[in-house]
Structure 1
Amino acid sequence: MTFKLNIHAILIIFFLFFQKSYASNSIEDYQSIFIPVSNSQGEMKIAIRSYFSNNQQYYLLVNPITLVTETGKAINFTHRKPLQNNTSNYFTSREIEDIPYLKALRKYSSSPYLIQNYGLTHSDNVKGIFLSIDLCPSVRPFDISFFKKLLEISSKEGNSFPVSLAISGLWILHHQKEFNWLINHKNQLDIIWVNHSFSHPYYKSKPLNENFLLSPKVDMKNEVLMTEKILLQNNQIPSVFFRFPGLVSNELTVKEINKLCLLPIGSDAWLAKGEKPKPGSIVLIHGNGNEPKGINMASKLIENNIKWLPLYKALSL
């Protein structure tokens, strides 16, 4: 008897091996949820993932105002608001729908559904620029010289350099040493981990509408959750941001990402394509060794007196 394994089954086998070989924390029963909760200070959080680690249940939570994520033991959160006098402590649908996080989820899941570069691509009313670096699967070493330049700027200015790293699970799998290098420099790099899918499928011969995450047999939920698990296993916190591989999407994939409570991030300044950054731009380069042109252009750009901002500041809601 013979068995035929498709590429996604093979990737899952690799993922399970990676879990046992490299993970510092076991992550089990990882589930997508949406539960408004209150912390011990009475502040609302939105739990978007539930999982178990060392036999204790945890949440991945979103601050509904700032959209910054955190993890915490589920037992430390209540599923109601704090009691005040005799008022009801149930969350209402109105107050949930009015929070900035929900407004962003609605805004960045609505039509028109562009096949390329859907989502947040530019921020209005800001004077700074946002740097995003894609780490797609690659056999090449990452561009450590560029990252070291960011460290030099951080040391010179006395502040950590804000950078969004759109990271794929397969890049981590094959570049654990480089991934650890990034983690070890988080005191100088203010890293936001943007989900860039697990496998980042790409077929050179296929048109866009059948390529990347639009390829047949792609399981969007697994592509998202597998990468998040790897980050958590390495004590890193996934953000609410997702970048479509190739910036390619359609209505179905946008809505699937929305159902997983994530916000799609594009770019209006993909440097290697000749797009020029301006105030509010989300700059895109590849730091995986595959795009030296973009790295060279970015190296010159960061020498200018530019105010670099964390990606959370790009949302004006």
Structure 2
Amino acid sequence: MLRLILSLMLCWLPLVAMENIKRYEVFVKEYEQNGVLWLISRRFELSDVTFYLTTNTQTLQTKVLALDATKLLPLDDRFERSLFAKRLKEATALHVNGGATHALTQNPNAIYLSMDLCPSSKKGYESDFIAHLTKQNGKIPIAIALSSAWKEHHEKEFKELVNNLLLQITWVNHSHTHFYDPKLPIRDNFMLHVNTDVKSEILGVEKTLLEEGITPSVFFRFPGLIADEKLMRELREIYFLIPLGANAWIAKNEPIKTGSIILIHGNKNEPQGIEILEKKLPEVVKTYQFHPLQEAFIP
């Protein structure tokens, strides 16, 4: 049995293509290994083996691991003192702007590019922009905020992004259905809608990614960057996800500054943002460098 578990720890990614994940659920514990404290936030079954979605509380990197359940402990003061707990508390403190809008650490000339993939009836994605970006700048770290509803109708495009070796992707949870009704006021829209199933919206994307062999990050972006105090509290106390806002929504002509979290849409629903950023790129890359999203939150 031990040999089987060790084997599955190494090859669980290919296995997901053969069968679906079962009993995916919130499961909160902590686990220490070699002096490193890990947060356990989810549990699921695959090939009759239990796996856990874990987060390194110092680097914010996530991993899927098969662990000895007897070594998983309730959260204690060690977790409360961790960098992850601190960043989680800071990012969920205010619901305005949907979470952290800029880097919480000082990293001179660093900027952080994020691209939302909200549901869209348009075919394709902003592939020309991606090609231009990488041709001019080489491998680019980018946070892609994915809704399952976009992936469902853009499987080919999703695969192209996953297999693009010039993209260093951090996969951000952008909700399962990304509900939006243009007839409703903002206060009743997106995830503030009365019928929102928060659990399904959050866990649905994670399960979608895991079944593609992709480990979800610890970041969540609210649709429309719209949230309230209750949603932020749930994100902090139940789901342990850092909400990601933006202070450089390019289509709104918000300026790029050191530490900016940049927001563009890759689903072809906001072409003006793509056009503006393409024009700005030559000057932007003279002054700033694109960094992986995690670096906005760690020293």
For structure 1, list consecutive stretches of 5 or more residues without a partner in the other structure: 1-21, 81-90
In 2, Cα distance between equivalents of 1:92 and 1:202? 36
**Per-residue deviation, 1:194:** 0.6
Rg larger for: 1
Please say if 1:150 is aligned against 2:133. Answer: yes
Contact 2:30–2:75 (Cα < 8 Å) also in 1: no
Structure 1 match to 2:72 = 79
In 2, Cα distance between equivalents of 1:198 and 1:206? 20
In 2, Cα distance between equivalents of 1:222 and 1:113? 21
Output one character per residue of 1:249-296: Cα deviation in whole Å (capped at 9) or x when no partner.
Answer: 101111122220101110000010111111110110000011111111
- For residue 106 of structure 2, the aligned residue among 125, 128, 138 is 125
- For residue 222 of structure 1, the aligned residue among 200, 220, 242 is 200
* Partner secondary structure for residue 129 of structure 1: strand
Contact 1:23–1:230 (Cα < 8 Å) also in 2: no
Structure 1 match to 2:28 = 34
- For residue 286 of structure 1, the aligned residue among 237, 247, 265 is 265
CA RMSD, Structure 1 to Structure 2 (Å):
2.0
Structure 1 match to 2:39 = 46
In 2, Cα distance between equivalents of 1:294 and 1:233? 31
Within 5 Å, which residues of 2 pair with 1:154-169?
Answer: 155=138, 160-169=139-148
Structure 2 match to 1:175 = 154
Provide the aligned length of Structure 1 versus Structure 2: 277
In 1, Cα distance between equivalents of 2:66 and 2:157? 30
Distance 1:283 1:95, change over 3 A: same
Which amino acid in 2 is paired with 1:274? N
Please say if 1:243 is aligned against 2:221. Answer: yes
- For residue 116 of structure 2, the aligned residue among 111, 130, 134 is 134
In 1, Cα distance between equivalents of 2:279 and 2:223? 26
Q: Which runs of 4+ in 1 moved over 4 A?
A: 22-25
Which amino acid in 2 is paired with 1:290? N
**Per-residue deviation, 1:164:** 0.3
Contact 1:37–1:77 (Cα < 8 Å) also in 2: no
For structure 2, list consecutive stretches of 5 or more residues without a partner in the other structure: 1-15
Output one character per residue of 1:118-145: Cα deviation in whole Å (capped at 9) or x when no partner.
Answer: 3110125222110000000001121111
Structure 2 match to 1:18 = none
Which amino acid in 1 is paired with 2:131? K
Output one character per residue of 1:40-85: Cα deviation in whole Å (capped at 9) or x when no partner.
Answer: x4532111110011111101110000101111113498326xxxxx
Which amino acid in 1 is paired with 2:111? I
In 2, Cα distance between equivalents of 1:279 and 1:57? 42
**Per-residue deviation, 1:168:** 0.3
* Partner secondary structure for residue 45 of structure 2: strand
**Per-residue deviation, 1:94:** 2.1
* Partner secondary structure for residue 44 of structure 1: strand
Distance 1:25 1:183, change over 3 A: farther
Which amino acid in 2 is paired with 1:196? H
* Partner secondary structure for residue 213 of structure 2: coil
